Each structure stands twice: as C-alpha cells, then as structure tokens.
Structure 1
C-alpha cells in the first residue's frame, strides 16, 4: 500500500515538464 493510495493530488501546470513528471509519478504511486 502506497502513501498515496486513494488520495487526491492537485498539480498545476501538469501538461509538460516537471509538472507532467510529477503527475505521472504520483499516478504510479496510486494517487488520483
């Protein structure tokens, strides 16, 4: 179980660059 399972993470500027990388990393760890 990940620390981000069933958690919501809001990322602004997630279409490219570090925002996209952060969004993908959180999604891999179970964040919504």
Structure 2
C-alpha cells in the first residue's frame, strides 16, 4: 500500500512538472 501511494505521488509530481513546462513552452511560442 505504501508503495502504491508513493508511486501515485511521483506520477502526480511528474504530471504537474510536465504540464507547467508545456504551458511555459506554449507561452514562449505565442509571444
């Protein structure tokens, strides 16, 4: 169970970082 929670947190962090970097890339291209 602990391993599952740890993996979920890791996936959430990776997803957040990916979304932020993609958003900043789009903003850079638009400007």
Taking structure 1 as the reference length, the TM-score comes to: 0.43
From the CA coordinates, give the structure whose radius of gyration is larger. 2
Q: Which structure: greater helix fraction?
A: 2
Taking structure 2 as the reference length, the TM-score comes to: 0.45
